[in-house]
Structure 1
Amino acid sequence: MAKCSYVPLFETKQVKGRVLFRCIAASIFLGICFIVMYRLMFFPVGGKVERWIWIGQFLSELWFCFYWFLTTVSRWNSVYRLPYIQRLSQRFEKELPGIDIFVCTADPLIEPPSMVVNTVLSVMAYDYPPEKLSIYLSDDGGSDLTFYAMLEAANFSKTWLPFCKKFRVEPTSPEAYFRTASEPLNDADNWLSVKKLYEEMKMRIEATIKLNRIPDHIRKQHKGFREWDFVLSKHDHQTILQILIDGRDSNAVDIEGNPLPTLVYLAREKRPQHHHHFKAGSMNALIRVSSRISNGPIILNVDCDMYANNSKAVKYSLCLFMDEKKGDEIAYVQFLQSFDNLTKNEIYASSFRVLQQLELHGLDAIGGPCYNGSGCFHRRQALCGKKYEKNYKVDWKKVSDTKADESASFLEETCKVLASCTFEHNTTWGKEMGLIYGFLVEDIITGLNIQCKGWKSMYLSPERDGFLGVAPITLLQTLVQHKRWMDGHLQVFLSRYCPLLYGYKKIPLKLRLAYCPYNLWAANCLATLYIVVMPCLCLLKGISLFPKV
């Protein structure tokens, strides 16, 4: 294509209201200056106790001023991306790359298989050529109940995918769709029959879960159940790998004769004497296994407690990856994750609106948002440790069809070693390749490591949310989640991956500073505790800490 005829696949626009925000920030800075002046000019000369209390108050205020500065850095110049999927279809319709989608689950009790089924079905029904979609479920619980649910999902997908296409279903999760949609005036019989099929499938799955074992007549229906004859426990078992739908097989079609996406079940090997590295280990195993089966150049990872809410999300992300001028430098595209279970008053602020609607847009303008662990499209090469080079260029014609030629049974056997406990020994997996091990927030540190290798990232928040998940709705759930995040971010700041040091001369200074508010989130507790406690005690003792009116 000639340079003069280049038309971008996406547009970058400045967020409105920047001037107003900067005026407000300037007024806050002026107020900070007055606070500092007051503390210095009216320093108490009385008792020693008063002086130390005054100093403590001043240090706490200085900390919050510093923290305000760090947050303002990430909000100063926000942008948003506007993809044009019509241009993508016109230019690359026959060269669209394969997409490997990873879904991770760990416990059939905490994460019910019926919920996992909805997640898998929602991503299988993307508005994308099904022969170029490959869905991988990582079951870290090693449960035959989850495996059975996947068999049900594979069978129901033959009806669900053409139904989604016919009725333009949004969202493509059966549970979410039938919960809110009403039957159409035309072809109501077909609509009701599919709803009945889904409800029957759901009842079978839940009845099996309640029974807590797979009935014998079901076990005989698929060879994969024999794998559980050798499973000692969910923490001690061999690799279980089953290709439930082989998208390359001409017989893998839906009820209308259209091809189905590839669907793979994986329970990686676990042994008590080997650390499994939680979700990071699961993701790395999926990266290796998928490279052998489908090897899609783009990887999407989602959690099992969320579902695809926008069937065009794949094409939105490809508009950024496949842009001829700016796409080759992008390592990952992070989508906004919203939630469909928020309480009316949202008393625990679980939606993170400021982060998702303001700060991530700001990060996008200074090098790219952090990797949030879910709802993220990755370039496989970047996720596998490749450093960005200025002359790097992708030939999408060559990478559009890279699936293996071997039979499904052969791939099942040969890929098991890739998910074994010992495969990563004496390799760079978990250090330079895949997700980084050793941190509670493996997603954040992985995104930082990728950016420090020269790649950029981008943030997408389309009008219709790309994904909807489940947010904590109780105080205990919120505290547990926040504690994990705060501990993990502080762990990053105190490690060799501290953005200020590790990112030196690798990423822009603004981006290094923008990581710090999250890394220092836990440190806020000290200044907050002082601000809450000491003024109250001083009020009881008659000690003045603030200007008199």
Structure 2
Amino acid sequence: MTRLGKVPADIRKEHKGFDEWDLVVSRHDHPSILQILIDGRDPNAIDIEGKALPTLVYLAREKRPQIHHNFKAGALNALIRISSRISNAPFILNVDCDMHSNDSKAIRDALCFFLDEENGREIGYVQYPQTFGNLTKNEIYGSMRVAMKLELAGFDGNGGPCYIGTGCVHRRESLCGMKYSKELVVEWKAMKYDRKIIEKASSIEGNCKALASCTYEENTPWGKEMGVKYGCVVEDILTGICIQSRGWRSVYLTPQREAFLGMVPTTLLDTLVQHKRWAEGDFQIFLSKLCPFVYGCQNMPLKLQFSYCIYLLWAPNCFATLYYVFVPSFCLLKGISLFPKISSSWGIPYLYVIVVHRVHSLVEFVWLGGTVRGWLNEQRMWMFKRTTSYFLAAIDNILKLCGFSKSAFIITGKVADDDLNRRYEQESMEFGTSSPMFTALATLALFNLFGLVVVGTNKAINDDARIKVFDIFGFQILLCCVLVFVNLPIYQGMFFRKDSGKIPASVTLRSIAFALMASTLAMY
């Protein structure tokens, strides 16, 4: 419709709300569209079994190119205002557009917490874990399984989970900026949400359109003290911090049957871009006045403030990973030992930490329902994200602090063609496009491969030299071997694959050049 610049006649007859799209310019330039598709007060609004249907409203808020629409946060705030005028229901369910309900009892289960006579009045929102319906058996791009099923449970034990932007049931008062206090209990019980004043649907539509206009929020608390917060690409985390800082508690609810199912990105680039946005926004919160240690110091438990650091410090944690990915191999080529000798007793603590930490991670992942190969993919993605997404997020935040760049909201792609879907189902890692992230990954992969080849050919000339080299550089060689193993899909994408999902030749040539330069610098 936006390509045609008008609404086709057959669609116009089916949806009367499109009458206002006569002068459509683009999806970024149009008036408010509001239509009550099903009026729950109408006695004729029943299903095939004769049961009453709930009110269903379609809303497309006004957008103008000269006025910032604040992305998802702006859309949510417009919906909050419209819903307060139509139903003013006390609880609000928030799910992403690519998610669907998987359990009809999910809302009822959440309401059990809100309506609890002892502690329900202090609960601001109930958060479900984010689960996906399009995962492959071994979760080639990861699934945040540990984060959703274990880390959020830890949040719950420390004072309440963070708000992750979807699969969440909110109390309207907490989402609209009200502070929690015990005195509000009487007001809640006195509030009535069954609209006794009968108003025609057409009248409601006309009166509510102003609430969805792009200028309504000017000089108002919306996006600041009220509603979902603006000014951050991870508005969900920031909003959850603000709600908890006003004294509200949150609850983590993980039913046996997944309540909602979404879609995970089906390409490596989409996954890395998504995590880059998340890491950048999280670190931005940590460096701002809304950091939990500053803004939430009065009402948030200290252990909950520390829990947020798991995500808020994703970006700066990249530097430790980059050190282990690059420096040991660089020093191996240079002939510099960084770790104790294998024969030395000082090497035992290193072996203990390496083995115990990885075994613990594996057991944890499998216990939560994953596979061994899925755990390997999770470790691979852990390294890929920290050497690209989180590194770029940290750099962007540093540049932003220096006034050189601004944050931008990037939508993660979820639409794929048949060939891409086939490769995803076969768990073949998708590259296909030229990206600086792929250049960085391929360069690091080749650099570690060159280091292992050089040590294997130049250092181990005879048995005595081989034993001596392995004794001195054993831990570095082991680390280099692990990195080469983790990067196997990258080598395959550069040199062996022939399909359209391979790494482009331009990326391969640049990566070889950069890796050779780094190796030459290390050796000479």
**Which residue identity does 2:303 align to in structure 1?**
K
* SS class of match (1:544): coil
Letter in 2 for 1:392: L
Structure 1 residue 444 and structure 2 residue 230: aligned? no
How many Å separate the matches in 2 of 1:543 and 1:232? 64
What residue is the counterpart of 1:267 in the other structure?
A: 60
Within 1, Cα distance between the matches of 2:197 and 2:66?
Answer: 33
Match of 1:378 among 162, 167, 170: 170
Pairing 1:470–2:263 present: yes
Residue 150 of structure 2 is aligned to residue 358 of structure 1: yes
What secondary structure, in the 3-state scheme, does the structure 2 residue paired with 1:457 have? strand
1:83-139 Cα offsets, whole Å, 9 max, x none, are xxxxxxxxxxxxxxxxxxxxxxxxxxxxxxxxxxxxxxxxxxxxxxxxxxxxxxxxx
Gap change, CA 1:403 and 1:528, over 3 Å in 2: farther
* Mapped partners of 1:322, 1:520: distance in 2: 35
- Bigger Cα displacement from structure 2, 428-437 vs 334-343: 334-343
- Can you list the C-alpha shifts for 1:113-170, whole angstroms capped at 9, x where unaligned? xxxxxxxxxxxxxxxxxxxxxxxxxxxxxx789xxxxxxxxxxxxxxxxxxxxxxxxx
Partner Cα separation in structure 2 for residue 449 and residue 269 of structure 1: 27
1:420 to 203, 209, 213: 213
User: Cα deviations across residues 498-536 of structure 1 (Å, max 9, x unaligned)?
Assistant: 112221122111001110120110111111111211111
2:228 alignment partner AA: L
What is the total number of aligned residue pairs between the two structures?
A: 341
Q: Which moved more, 1:229-238 or 1:387-396?
A: 387-396
**For 1:236-271, what per-residue CA distance to the aligned partner results, in whole angstroms no more than 9, with x for missing partners?**
111111111111111212233321111111111111
In structure 1, the residue matched to 2:225 is: 432
Within a 5 Å distance, the mapping from 1:89-100 to structure 2 comes to none
Matched with 1:280 is: 73
- Consecutive unaligned residues in structure 1, runs of 5 or more: 1-142, 146-210
Residues 487 and 522 of structure 1 are in contact (CA less than 8 Å); yes or no, is this contact kept in structure 2?
yes
Is 1:299 the counterpart of 2:299 in the alignment? no
Query: Is 1:487 aligned to residue 280 of structure 2?
Result: yes
Percent identity, aligned pairs only?
63
Letter in 2 for 1:339: F
Quick one: structure 1 residues 468 and 276, their matched pair in 2 at CA, closer, same or farther if it must change by over 3 Å? same
The structure in which a higher percent of residues are strand is: 1
1:538 has 2:331 as partner: yes
- Which residue of structure 2 aligns with residue 524 of structure 1? 317
Work out whether 1:248 is the aligned partner of 2:59.
no
The CA distance in 2 between the partners of 1:418 and 1:286, in whole Å, is 9
Once residues 421 and 410 of structure 1 are traced to their aligned partners in structure 2, the CA distance between those partners, rounded to angstroms, is: 21
Determine if contact 2:21/2:31 at 8 Å carries over to the other structure.
no
1-side partners of 2:198 and 2:265: how far apart?
44
Q: Go from structure 1 to structure 2 and tell me whether the alpha carbon gap of 1:213 and 1:255 turns closer, same or farther (over 3 Å shift).
A: farther
Structure-1 residue corresponding to 2:251: 458
Aligned to 1:368: 160
Residue aligned with 1:430, SS: coil
- The structure-2 alpha-carbon separation of the partners of 1:240 and 1:400, relative to structure 1 and needing over 3 Å to count, comes to closer
RMSD: 1.9
* 8 Å Cα contact 2:6-2:22 kept in structure 1: no
Q: Which residue of 2 aligns with 1:239?
A: 32
* Higher mean C-alpha deviation, range 314-323 or range 394-403: 394-403
Q: Helix, strand or coil for the counterpart of 2:113?
A: helix
CA contact (8 A) 1:328 1:393 kept: yes
1:158-214: per-residue Cα shift (whole Å, max 9, x none)? xxxxxxxxxxxxxxxxxxxxxxxxxxxxxxxxxxxxxxxxxxxxxxxxxxxxx9985
Counterpart position of 1:388 = 180
Q: Which structure carries more relative contact order (alpha carbon 8 Å, separation 6+)?
A: 1
Contact 2:5/2:26, CA 8 A, preserved across alignment: no
The offset of 1:219, in angstroms, is: 2.2
Task: Please say if residues 265 and 271 of structure 2, whose CA atoms lie closer than 8 Å, have aligned partners that are also in contact.
Answer: yes
Give the letter aligned to residue 172 of structure 2: R
| Contact 1:292–1:404 (Cα < 8 Å) also in 2 | no
Q: Which amino acid aligns with 1:538?
A: C
What's the offset of the Cα at 1:366? Answer: 1.4
Q: 1:535 to 1:254 in 2, by over 3 A?
A: same
The alpha-carbon deviation at position 404 of structure 1 amounts to 5.6
Q: Could you tell me how far apart the structure 2 residues matched to 1:352 and 1:396 are?
A: 39
Relative to structure 1, is the Cα distance of residues 338 and 221 closer, same or farther in structure 2, using a 3 angstrom cutoff? closer
Instruction: Report the TM-score, using the length of structure 1 for normalisation.
Output: 0.60
**In the alignment, which residue of structure 2 is the partner of 1:257?**
50
Instruction: Quote the Cα distance in structure 2 between the aligned partners of 1:442 and 1:365.
Output: 23
| Amino acid of the structure 1 residue aligned with 2:89 | G
Q: Are residues 1:503 and 2:309 paired? A: no
Aligned pairs for 1:149-228 within 5 A: 215-228=8-21
Structure 1's 218 and 482: CA in aligned 2 closer, same or farther, altered over 3 A?
closer
Q: Which residue of 2 aligns with 1:103?
A: none
Q: Tell me if structure 2 keeps the 8 A contact 1:367–1:508.
A: yes
